[in-house]
Structure 1
Amino acid sequence: MRRLLAILVSTLTLVLAIGVVDARAATVTSTELTSGWALRSATGLSDTGATVSQVGYSTSGWNPVSLPSTVLAGLVANNVYQNIFFGQNLKNVPDLTGQDWWFRGEFTAAATSPGQVYWLRFKGISYRAQIWLNGTQLDANAVGTMVGHEYNVTGVIHPGAVNALAIRVTPPAHDCKDLSFCTVDWNPEAPDMNAGLWGKTLVDTTGPVALRDPYVKTVLPLPATNAADLTVYVDAVNATAAPITTTVNATISKAGQPSIPLSQTVTLNANERREVAFSPVHVTNPVLWWPYQFGSPELYQLSVSATAGGAISDTKGIDFGIRQFTDYRTTVNGTSFAGYKVNGQNIMFRGGGYMWDMLQRWDTKTNAAHIKYVKDMGLNTIRLEGTLGNEELYDLADKAGIMVMPGFVCCSAWENDSGWSAEQAQVALASLDTQMRATRAHASTFLWTYGSDQPPTAAHLTAYKNVATALHWQNPTLDNVATWSNANAGMKMDGPYVWEPPVLWWDTTKAGSAFGTTGEEGAESPPPLESVQRFLAPADQWPIGTAWNYHAGKAGSVFDNTTPFTAGLNSRYGTATGAADYSRKTELQNYENTRAFFEAWNSHEYTQSFGTIFWMLNSAWPSVHWNLYDYYFKPGGGYFGSKKANEPVHIAYDYATKKVFVVNSTLTARSGLTATATLYNTPDLAQKYTTSVPVTAAANSSTQVLTIPAVTGLSTTYFIRLQVKDASGATVSNNLYWYSTTADTLGNKSNWYRTTPKNSANLTGLNSLPANPNLNATASRVTSGGQETVTITLTNTSATNLAFFVRPEITAGNGGTEVVPVTYTDNYISLWPGESTTVTAAYQTADLGGQAPYLRLRGYNIPTSSVPVS
């Protein structure tokens, strides 16, 4: 099993006899190979790997690339295919999977030291590869997109000199037929199926003993958290052909806390890889890692070293958190659902399904923007359905207190496992081993899902769980996340996946509503017009047609259009008259939809609901379906609706029962609060009803505080304004709804992705709001460390008119595009006559592109204006 699961080690070993290990220290380094690479099709190239991997081999006519890179990413970088995300240009890229591809590069290896060993490591090759170094084949069949591959190349390397590495890649098959990355139906498949060296390529040097995969398992004496038992594990690898004795030293440390030293001496057999497990250490009063809104995500450090012959042979270090996730089950509506606790506290996980760029291009800035946006929306979780391997994202999640929910993907060879070949079974287990090793040490990882829509077969599930046991996996697991295929799954996946009116989330008699625990559900979410203009030509922006639908979902799927969303928009807000009108109404509909989604799940927490994932968090390319923020990081209605719903203390309206809830998502109780509900007519803002009640918002809980009664004399479209204020009168939560005396209703027709609406709310009264040119704005900035913070003050000086759904944006230049990524303390703001509010925006100075910042104001009933930021 170890041979099956462990990272492959070449037989090219350094022979050192026991007892004669040189006491002088070897060089311990790790170098990522990024530059100096070239890519070309293997078709028409008769040279073998033995030739291509010779130093000095000419790559004239090849495409220069930087690693990591997929095949298509490399070709796009060389303008072989241009602007492929615009319109339907992706269709012009031919199928790139019917041929092999060569990646070739040269690098200078570190000079040799006594007893030094050289390692070549690949974090991700898709799908299979032949690997050659300096004319020698290291592997004839390195298979598995998610499998790490490692080779001891000491006998092949040219120390202190130039070396040549060549990898012949065979792409995965289309239609998700290989155990690779798979985008199912949420966008077109990449023409190369993400073939290539998508993960890091590393050359490491160590002494005769190398260390791998350090890990600290943390166990708390729950419900108490005043102590912790920590068990340190690390694999030690003997790189020699003879037994060797090594001392493995470990230190657990954190600033302000006492350090904990550990040591163990072991003798490894020739070429042996062995797990070194230290006796558990007991820590009193540990500083715990907490998810966002629950506390600080505190991290400890583990440093590990191995000595051989009196000299340092290798070192490794990781950050880890002392925390413990546990699960429990509760039956709701006759089904058993999973709930989760962190450090003994109930936690409502709420998040979105993460998707990397279609060409798997990412960098630190991109990863950091995702984490920043997740946190800014008040979410605490990212789901990775098969998008495994972006390890920097895990590191950033650890530091931000964002939980990570990894697992395998649906609707592909991963779930069609009853007919796996012997190789596929091996690849699946090796993939799990690699990815669990990469995630198990992270404080942010709270759950692993072995399957998505369907569970693996019993035999494969048992094998998976054996891997987890062998790796001392410390977090809960689920067999899959869909009760429709497995009544005991613990999570449901009953849709919807297209737009529904807000009442659906609240009506717990309907599929997809906020009861139980859900692995995913979501809706179409067209982005703001400014983003649409970046990927569709003017003629394709309106009317909606083929090019628009090409960006909706996979062709031929039920998601290759946005008809349900558009039908809802036209019937509720009034038929759109053009691209601009469609976009402004889209922002309203996205806002109310995602706000209601998270409000319903949060308001039912721990009694009916236990966790939810919005499908999706972001998009792999410019998309009009499934995202909380768009491909360009421009925040829109869905983003700010989520942010509003998930604020730390929030007041929410139940569209189904007219109940009002106050949700406290922190571990600190709030007393002395007052909740107010007021109803206003449109367009004159005549007040028709108001009530106030005292509120104590218990920690980590939802409290029903009032019910809005039937009110007579309401206009067809009216406003519901909910507010929570503290004892000093300061606003804690301010939430405005627009609704109708003719409410949305749902029909009885339902399938796996939709419940068909029956009647629509009449929100067209919003179109009759008086124009309000009397919104004053000032904006000033402070710059520090490359970041700018802009303070925006908005004042509605009108004596009679509302300033509705106002969108302040910081733009790069007067009339330029919004600077992104950017965060605002609030947005899509509505101000009553005479009201004023202050909003802050934060962004990086570099993202202005040398332009001066301007504040642009847009709104549903205000003229667009722009003022310089002072």
Structure 2
Amino acid sequence: MKRLALVVLVLLASCISATATRPSSPGFAAPAGTGGVTTFPDWRLRSSSDVPVDGDLVSRPDYDDRDWTTVPRRSTVLGGLLAAGRYPDVHYSTNMRDKVNAGHFTVPWWYRRTFTATPGDGAHTFLRLPGGIIPSAEIWLNGAKIAGPDDVAGAYPAHDFEIPLHAGTNALAIKVFRADSYEQFTLDFLDWSQPPPDNSMGVWRDVQLVRTGPVSLHNARVVTSLAVPSLETADLTIKAELINHTSSDVDVVVRGSADGPFEETLKIPAKGSATVETKQHMARPRVWWPYSMGDQPLYRLELEAFVGGRSSDRTSSSFGIKHIRSFLNSDGAQAFEINGRPFQVRGAGWTPDLFLRDDRQRVQDELSYVRDLGLNTLRLEGKLEQDEFYELADRMGIVLMPGWECCTKWQHYEKWSEADFAVARASAVTEGFRLQNHPSVLSFYLGSDTAPPPAVEQMYLDAFASTDWSLPLLASIGPWAAEKLGPSGHKGAGPYWWVPPAYFYGDVGGGAFGFEGENGPGAAIPELAALKSFMTDAELDALWRDPDSVQYHLSWSPWFDHLGDFWHALATRYGAPTSLEDFVRKAQLMNYEVNRAQFEAHGRNGLRASNPSTGDIYWLLNNARPELYWHLYDHSMTPTGGYFGARTGLKPVHVQYSYDDGSVWVLGAVEGMSAQTTVFELDGTVHSDTTVPVSGPGAVGKVALGASATYLVRLLLRDASGTVVDRNVYWLSPTPDVADIGNSTWYHMPQTSYADLKGLASLPRGQVSVSSAVSDGRTDVTLTNTSSTVAFFVRVSLHRGEGGPEVAPALWSDNYVTLWPGETLQVTASYRQELLGGAAPVVRAG
């Protein structure tokens, strides 16, 4: 059998039909012809321990798979079994550890699918793997072995195998081997989660059948050169590889369009390849911007290859026009410009589903949360997403910083063999071709927690160069230099666990200066209903009573498996928790204030001339499963205090307090605005009240200390008409939080002094009246404080009918708000109407 293996990334249109054996899913029809692709819609799955024969029999069309399990087209093995209902809720309590036998995944698993095909005259058919299979696989077709684990290895490399098909029914079988992230180039969740029992083994990207004529098109790409700063012209270089699958020289005509039509003719030798290249000059291009800076126009690249006047292959993809400049500033920090304008990275780390399940609606909801928060960037560490993710980021204007992961084989360079170098290079080539047309991609990290050594760095540089990669390549997220790329310009200093809000205002460690590749304050406690959905009563009891108890919904790492410092800071600052409800409320306050401080500190320090903040990646945005740490929103997507603290700190037009020197700053302000600072004692007494004119961004005053151990500060930013355009409330103490930075470690930050915020516990609950107006997918809520005391940190929630569950995800204009006596505020919730399930929305506030 002749087989052809290529690294390719290209999507075409459908041509072959697929069916399943006997009781499997019904087949689907597709038109015959060249220039087409069919994606397998699902699989039959079985452990090799239950299959006593090898691939020569499993891949025969008449093999009986009626007792196999039907699973989705892409996920890990365990993800497929979960979709089939084989296990109880693995997110609840310790079910994933106790009710899923990890030993079942120490043997290979078989994926199988039958399909029908009508071979055509002069047609060539390929089995296409747009990405690797985790961790490696054998490929069998109609009783014959197509490839082995030496050919198909690593999570990312793409492959094409030319295959012969029978007229009628054919059978494909894929044997996926056990995964070990320290032995193979896999995808690992590190200390972000308890590890999945199958170690992410499985078919996690689409498997496709492709039909072409004598010549096929691959790796279509557009390299753009935008004139900056004028943005008035752009030059496009359009390239693609063509492969001749015949034993004769062929003349090929390639027709296409990008900004306009073009045609190129070239000769390809027998069994050879050639690169088609053409250039276009554009006047007044429509330029792609991050959503916070402008619009996101996309262009379409269309290519079609003709041999002898007949179409042989075709492809299409979108692309955007932008210009990225990456440099080290005068302080040695990584900095970026987009289209000639400074771009301060204000981002967070992304994680996919723990079982790599395909839920496009959830991904869209999560990216909507990214924009709602005010983040502009996501970092993808070694979990390089599906194509749809990048396409959505392109359309939504969310900037992406993908790269390889730390700690596993990806970073244990000293153990790499020659074969490992080949897999790593193929991974880089695959991702280089796949990502570069996406305007949302800002850069690529060649290393994570360490920079690659010279031989590995050069290999990566050569691999990306072979794809015409034109974006920045970054050495690592830490303060290490690579031989060719030089200093990283990153700090990489953490923290990863609780620090007080004032910590981020310092100029040491993980403070708001330079470029921070990952840091955050650690523990992030969901709201009560979300907690009860995945924790037992005993686990919840330990959560608020015992800071040293190991929590399964924290990390497996001993540094992050208990609440420890977070709990002690909460108890010292706010008072020891008296109940689960009291703990959850105080945790929301803790998460709100520290998340707000991290983003406000970076926002403020992004304005300064000396040692400015050029970027910050909060660790993390989200979780792969329900967790008690490292997220800006919890797995249920129920709004929390931490979410709204971050959202407040990320507002583009904003008035904020500085924990280091008590100064008040305005961001995004223009002349004619005014800033009001009011300090209240807890009994409502006004301690001080000042209003100053605003001429632009910068410092506008200072907060006078309150007289009480705990006091409140309200900041209001008004436009020229007197309308409040931003509102911010702080709870403060004359006693400062002081971090003991000299005795800190990468995971632990002791404190020598704690703020006294215990007065909040004696603050009477204010009475708030609630009225609402409902329209399709939107509820407007009016809150009025009808009591004589402050209504502090009021949470508003929307429910599916009276007594029903909370509606999530929901985009709130504001939440966890504080109202003074007689004050009225309006907040709005937007949501997908179907989340109500036909019930009327019910608003609660408390």
Residue 270 of structure 1 pairs with residue 264 of structure 2: no
Counterpart CA distance in 2 for 1:547 and 1:763 is: 23
Aligned to 2:28: none
SS of corresponding position for 2:122: coil
Alignment TM-score, normalising by the size of structure 2:
0.92
The one of 782, 789, 797 aligned to 2:778? 789
Counterpart CA distance in 2 for 1:25 and 1:764 is: 73
SS of corresponding position for 1:290: coil
SS of corresponding position for 2:260: strand
Aligned to 2:174: 167
Question: After superposition, what is the alpha-carbon deviation per residue over 1:478-501, rounded to whole angstroms, capped at 9, x for unaligned?
Answer: 111100677821111111000111
Say if 2:119 and 2:165, in contact at 8 Å, map to a contact too.
no
Aligned to 1:455: 451
Counterpart CA distance in 1 for 2:376 and 2:549 is: 32
Counterpart CA distance in 2 for 1:768 and 1:631 is: 32
Aligned to 2:155: 145
Q: CA 1:307 to 1:582, structure 2 compared with 1: closer, same or farther past 3 Å?
A: same
Question: After superposition, what is the alpha-carbon deviation per residue over 1:634-683, rounded to whole angstroms, capped at 9, x for unaligned?
Answer: 2211111111111121112110111222122xxxx73311112111111x
Counterpart CA distance in 2 for 1:678 and 1:601 is: 24
Say if 1:543 and 1:578, in contact at 8 Å, map to a contact too.
no
Residue 727 of structure 1 pairs with residue 720 of structure 2: yes
Counterpart CA distance in 1 for 2:586 and 2:447 is: 38
Say if 1:483 and 1:492, in contact at 8 Å, map to a contact too.
yes
Counterpart CA distance in 2 for 1:239 and 1:832 is: 76
Residue 369 of structure 1 pairs with residue 365 of structure 2: yes
Q: Which moved more, 1:536-545 or 1:489-498?
A: 536-545
The one of 696, 700, 708 aligned to 1:715? 708
Residue 520 of structure 1 pairs with residue 501 of structure 2: no
Show the 5 A alignment for 1:278-297.
Answer: 278-279=278-279, 281-297=280-296
Q: CA deviation at 1:450?
A: 0.2
Q: CA 1:846 to 1:355, structure 2 compared with 1: closer, same or farther past 3 Å?
A: same
Say if 1:404 and 1:445, in contact at 8 Å, map to a contact too.
yes
Say if 1:8 and 1:151, in contact at 8 Å, map to a contact too.
no
Say if 1:124 and 1:200, in contact at 8 Å, map to a contact too.
no
Q: CA deviation at 1:587?
A: 0.9
Q: CA deviation at 1:467?
A: 1.4
Residue 833 of structure 1 pairs with residue 804 of structure 2: no
Counterpart CA distance in 2 for 1:676 and 1:204 is: 65
Say if 2:216 and 2:312, in contact at 8 Å, map to a contact too.
yes
Q: Which moved more, 1:808-817 or 1:483-492?
A: 483-492
Letter in 1 for 2:306: T
Letter in 1 for 2:684: L
Q: CA deviation at 1:184?
A: 1.5
Q: Which moved more, 1:556-565 or 1:238-247?
A: 238-247
Q: CA deviation at 1:387?
A: 0.6
Q: CA 1:124 to 1:782, structure 2 compared with 1: closer, same or farther past 3 Å?
A: farther
Q: CA deviation at 1:44?
A: 4.7
Show the 5 A alignment for 1:540-555.
Answer: 540-544=539-543, 549-555=550-556
Counterpart CA distance in 2 for 1:377 and 1:118 is: 46
Aligned to 2:428: 432
Counterpart CA distance in 2 for 1:240 and 1:535 is: 58
Counterpart CA distance in 1 for 2:427 and 2:444 is: 13
The one of 829, 836, 840 aligned to 1:848? 836
SS of corresponding position for 1:500: coil
Q: CA deviation at 1:138?
A: 1.2
Percent identical = 35
Letter in 1 for 2:228: L
The one of 156, 165, 169 aligned to 1:157? 165
Question: After superposition, what is the alpha-carbon deviation per residue over 1:833-863, rounded to whole angstroms, capped at 9, x for unaligned?
Answer: 22222222111122223433211212xxxxx
Q: CA deviation at 1:46?
A: 2.9
Aligned to 1:675: 675
Letter in 2 for 1:301: R
Q: Which moved more, 1:144-153 or 1:722-731?
A: 144-153
Show the 5 A alignment for 1:73-472.
Answer: 73-92=79-98, 93-95=100-102, 96-109=104-117, 111-122=118-129, 123-141=131-149, 142-153=152-163, 156-159=164-167, 161-173=168-180, 176-252=182-258, 259-279=259-279, 281-332=280-331, 336-472=332-468
Say if 1:326 and 1:342, in contact at 8 Å, map to a contact too.
yes
Aligned to 1:650: 654
SS of corresponding position for 1:722: strand
Counterpart CA distance in 2 for 1:8 and 1:136 is: 25
Aligned to 2:806: 818
Counterpart CA distance in 2 for 1:8 and 1:351 is: 28
Alignment TM-score, normalising by the size of structure 1:
0.90
Q: CA deviation at 1:162?
A: 2.4
Counterpart CA distance in 2 for 1:234 and 1:639 is: 44
Counterpart CA distance in 2 for 1:91 and 1:495 is: 29
Say if 1:812 and 1:853, in contact at 8 Å, map to a contact too.
yes
The one of 478, 483, 486 aligned to 2:479? 483
Counterpart CA distance in 2 for 1:670 and 1:300 is: 35
Letter in 1 for 2:622: N
Residue 639 of structure 1 pairs with residue 643 of structure 2: yes
Say if 1:536 and 1:547, in contact at 8 Å, map to a contact too.
no
Residue 804 of structure 1 pairs with residue 795 of structure 2: no
Q: CA deviation at 1:553?
A: 3.9
Aligned to 2:583: 582
SS of corresponding position for 2:568: helix
Aligned to 1:704: 699
Question: After superposition, what is the alpha-carbon deviation per residue over 1:738-793, rounded to whole angstroms, capped at 9, x for unaligned?
Answer: 111112111231111232111111111111222222x121122222xxxx111112
Counterpart CA distance in 2 for 1:566 and 1:427 is: 44
Aligned to 1:864: none
Q: CA deviation at 1:546?
A: 10
Say if 2:214 and 2:246, in contact at 8 Å, map to a contact too.
yes
Residue 771 of structure 1 pairs with residue 747 of structure 2: no
Say if 1:229 and 1:283, in contact at 8 Å, map to a contact too.
yes
Counterpart CA distance in 1 for 2:105 and 2:573 is: 45
Say if 1:186 and 1:552, in contact at 8 Å, map to a contact too.
no
Counterpart CA distance in 1 for 2:304 and 2:565 is: 59
Residue 511 of structure 1 pairs with residue 509 of structure 2: yes
Say if 2:679 and 2:703, in contact at 8 Å, map to a contact too.
no
Counterpart CA distance in 2 for 1:830 and 1:262 is: 61
Q: CA deviation at 1:251?
A: 0.9
Q: CA deviation at 1:222?
A: 2.0
Say if 1:776 and 1:794, in contact at 8 Å, map to a contact too.
yes
Question: After superposition, what is the alpha-carbon deviation per residue over 1:245-283, rounded to whole angstroms, capped at 9, x for unaligned?
Answer: 21112212xxxxxx412221122223334332213x221
Q: CA deviation at 1:293?
A: 1.2
Say if 1:436 and 1:468, in contact at 8 Å, map to a contact too.
yes
Question: After superposition, what is the alpha-carbon deviation per residue over 1:397-453, rounded to whole angstroms, capped at 9, x for unaligned?
Answer: 000110000000011111111220111111111111111211111000001110001
Aligned to 2:23: none
Say if 1:482 and 1:519, in contact at 8 Å, map to a contact too.
yes
Aligned to 1:660: 664
Counterpart CA distance in 2 for 1:808 and 1:512 is: 33
Question: After superposition, what is the alpha-carbon deviation per residue over 1:175-218, rounded to whole angstroms, capped at 9, x for unaligned?
Answer: x3321111111212111111010111112222222222222111
The one of 609, 615, 619 aligned to 1:611? 615
Q: Which moved more, 1:444-453 or 1:291-300?
A: 291-300
The one of 621, 626, 630 aligned to 1:626? 630
Aligned to 1:54: 60
SS of corresponding position for 1:661: strand
Tell me the number of residue pairs that the alignment of Structure 1 and Structure 2 aligns.
808
Q: CA 1:394 to 1:816, structure 2 compared with 1: closer, same or farther past 3 Å?
A: same
Q: CA 1:271 to 1:635, structure 2 compared with 1: closer, same or farther past 3 Å?
A: farther
Question: After superposition, what is the alpha-carbon deviation per residue over 1:451-481, rounded to whole angstroms, capped at 9, x for unaligned?
Answer: 0010111011011011122212121111111
Q: CA 1:208 to 1:720, structure 2 compared with 1: closer, same or farther past 3 Å?
A: same
Say if 1:185 and 1:557, in contact at 8 Å, map to a contact too.
no
Letter in 2 for 1:670: V
